[in-house]
Chains A and B, each alone.
Chain A
Amino acid sequence: MAPLFRVEGLTFAYPGRAPALEGIDLELHARERLFLTGANGSGKSTLLRCLIGLARPQAGRIIAFGEEPTTEEQFRRLRCRAGFVFQDPDDQLFSPTVIEDVAFGPLNMGLPRDEAIAQADEALAGLGLDGFRDRITYKLSGGERRLVSLATVLAMKPEVLLLDEPTNALDEVTTDRLADILTGLPQAMIAVSHDPHFRAEVGTREVFLHQGRIVAERPAGHGARRMGA
């Protein structure tokens, strides 16, 4: 089966700086939960941002779902299929109420109101967040914000999830709950995480970055075993 994402020779540099990514080759296959890890500044987040066109690489190709997006409009459609969850939920949740924020994506995809709201409710229920729909986003706790921001992306029914440090600032209980949720999802995902326990729990494969290059790769812990890899 063709990979969902294929990256070939990706090179990206912020203006006037040494390349943040250099010659990256990477594939993501269906049902894989791929973790990117490495020191601060090794290019993990930049790689995620390149995949959906938030950063435009100077060289290399990105093939997503068999197509190579180049224009903003193509990337816009891609972003609806590959949902990106930001590191800081305060960046993600901008609407006053939870239901508005979760329905924002489906409405942008052109769904009629009722369907968009139904899809949003479904996403909330799937994460055990029933009863959160009329809550005010800025009054949620850190853990609740994280789960709601995941719901805002899941409501769009993406085929791939991109997660930038999803356990950032979460306590252990919420981290475990998030691990359970992520392992239960059918989507393939690429996640950045510094938490070795979380990676072992959720991941099926780990890729190590160092100074913008992939230096090692290995199957991850329980996740890989659960998948039978």
Chain B
Amino acid sequence: MSYVLEGDATARPATPPALTQVDPRYRVVAVVAFAITVVALHDFAALLIALFVSAAVLLHGRLPVANTIRQVVTVDMFMIFVILSLPFTTPGETAFTLFGLEASKEGIGDAFRIALKANAIVLMMLVLVGTIGPVRLGHALSRLKVPPMFVHLMLFTVRYIEVLNEEYQRLRTAMRTRGFRPGTNMHTIRTLGYLVGMLLIRAFDRSERVLQAMRCRGFTGAFHLIDESRPAGLREGLFAIGTAAVLAALIYVEVRHGAFVSR
């Protein structure tokens, strides 16, 4: 759990990769720009280049391979049905027939495009944003003028998700020590209902206490983030130029090569 929250700073190599040293704000903006560009691409050559760039960045970032693959596969699972059903639902020239269903060439192409786009973006995100850590990400978003409500919602979630998880684990342990074994019956459904209900009530009570503790320290509604990150330097400049170059190359390939193919 805390690995997800913190990006596990302790497991990083001694000399961190240069890209993960770039100011988080630049990385967030770069990923957003990359995502928008890649989503708009249509040409296979451009999409393959995008995926290749992401993979290169991933290697540079030296993320734990097994973990990263697991995270990417998790995202792919969300799309698997879309990708599998697209060939059969998109009208067009028949490529093959399966159990009497016709798969169209256009549909197969679209399915591959979506898979390529999603994986390129997720990989890029894992390396550039995933390594920031939630706290610094919150600060970065705040300095990018993301609405404070959103930033604090995120930071409060990060702060209390672990507390709630501990509470859940305590309740589960208490249930187990009294011989509870989940099954398909009313007793299990009722018990799990109590568990969820109790968690909700406790979360609500805790939010009340947190607010009271904040009021005890003079809280009137204004939040203050203390962010002591250094100003942007040479690294950030190079990073911005590199990002712009990659995006420009992708667009160039899309326009030139894409036009050539369709001719």
Contacts and interface: CB of A to CB of B under 8 A. Distances in A.
A and B interact: yes
A152 B6 CA distance: 23
B6 A136 contact: yes
B219 interface: yes
B152 to A, nearest CB: 10
Q: Lowest 4 A-B CB distances belong to which pairs?
A: A108-B218, A105-B217, A96-B135, A91-B209
B172 interface: no
Interface centre among A90, A103, A117 (most CB of B within 10 A): A90
A80 interface: yes
A14 interface: no
B217 A156 contact: yes
Max count, chain A CB within 10 A of own CB: residue among B134, B217, B219, B224: B217
B213 A79 contact: no
A108 B222 contact: yes
Interface of B: 2, 6, 134-135, 138, 155-156, 158-160, 162-163, 206, 209-210, 212-220, 222, 224-226
B213 A92 contact: yes
A92 B2 CA distance: 20
Given A96-B138, A103-B226, A80 B159 contact: no
B109 to A, nearest CB: 45
A104 interface: yes
A97 B135 contact: yes
A54 B212 contact: yes
Interface in A127-186: 136-139, 152-153, 156
Contacts of A91: 206, 209-210, 212-213
Given A96-B138, A136-B6, A138-B159, A90 B218 contact: no
A88 interface: yes
B226 A97 contact: yes
Contacts, number: 85
A104 B217 contact: yes
Contacts of B213: 84, 86, 91-92, 94
Contacts of A84: 213, 216
A109 interface: yes
A220 interface: no
A79 B209 contact: no
28 contacts: A79-B218, A83-B216, A84-B213, A84-B216, A86-B209, A90-B206, A91-B209, A91-B212, A91-B213, A92-B210, A92-B213, A94-B214, A96-B134, A96-B155, A96-B158, A96-B159, A97-B135, A99-B226, A100-B224, A100-B225, A103-B224, A104-B214, A104-B217, A104-B219, A113-B224, A116-B224, A138-B159, A138-B163
A88 B159 CA distance: 15
B218 A80 contact: yes
Contact of B226 (A80, A86, A88, A100): A100
Question: In this complex, which of A83, A88, A99, A103 has the most chain B Cβ atoms within 10 angstroms of its Cβ?
Answer: A88
Contacts of A156: 217-218
A193 B115 CA distance: 60
Contacts of B217: 79-80, 83, 104-105, 108, 152-153, 156
Contacts of A104: 214, 217, 219, 224
Contact of A76 (B209, B220, B222, B224): B220
Contacts of A94: 156, 159-160, 210, 213-214
A90 B165 CA distance: 13
A83 to B, nearest CB: 7
B161 to A, nearest CB: 9
A17 to B, nearest CB: 17
Given A83-B217, A86-B213, 19 more contacts: A76-B215, A79-B216, A84-B216, A86-B212, A86-B216, A90-B163, A90-B206, A91-B212, A94-B210, A96-B135, A96-B159, A100-B225, A107-B224, A113-B224, A138-B158, A138-B162, A139-B2, A153-B216, A153-B217
